[in-house]
Amino acid sequence: MAVWDDVLPETDRKVFEAAGWGRTAGLGERPVLLVVDVNYNFVGDRPEPILDSVKRWRYSCGERGWQGVAAIRQLLDRARALRLPVVYTTSPRRPDGFDLGVWNLKSTRAGDEVDVQGHLGNQIVAEVAPHERDLLVEKKKPSAFFGTPLVSYLVQLRADTLILTGTTTSGCVRASAVDAISYNFRVGIPEQCVWDRGELTHKVNLFDLQQKYCDVLELDEVLAYLDGLPAGLFDRELPVGE
CB-based contact 30:160 (threshold 8 Å)? yes
Residue 217 pairs in a beta bridge with 190
The 3-state secondary structure of 136-163, one letter per residue: EEECCCCCCCCCCCHHHHHHHHCCCEEE
Alpha helices in the chain (DSSP H): 10-19, 40-43, 50-56, 63-81, 150-157, 174-182, 199-212, 219-227
DSSP 178-219: HHHHHTT-EEEEEGGGEE-SSHHHHHHHHHHHHHHT-EEE-H
* Distances from the Cα of 135 to the Cα of 36, 148, 164, 172, 209, angstroms: 12, 12, 15, 18, 25
Residue type, 176: S
Q: 83 phi and psi, to 5 degrees?
A: 60, 40
CA neighbor of 159 nearest in space, from 10, 56, 34, 68: 34
The catalytic residue positions are 172
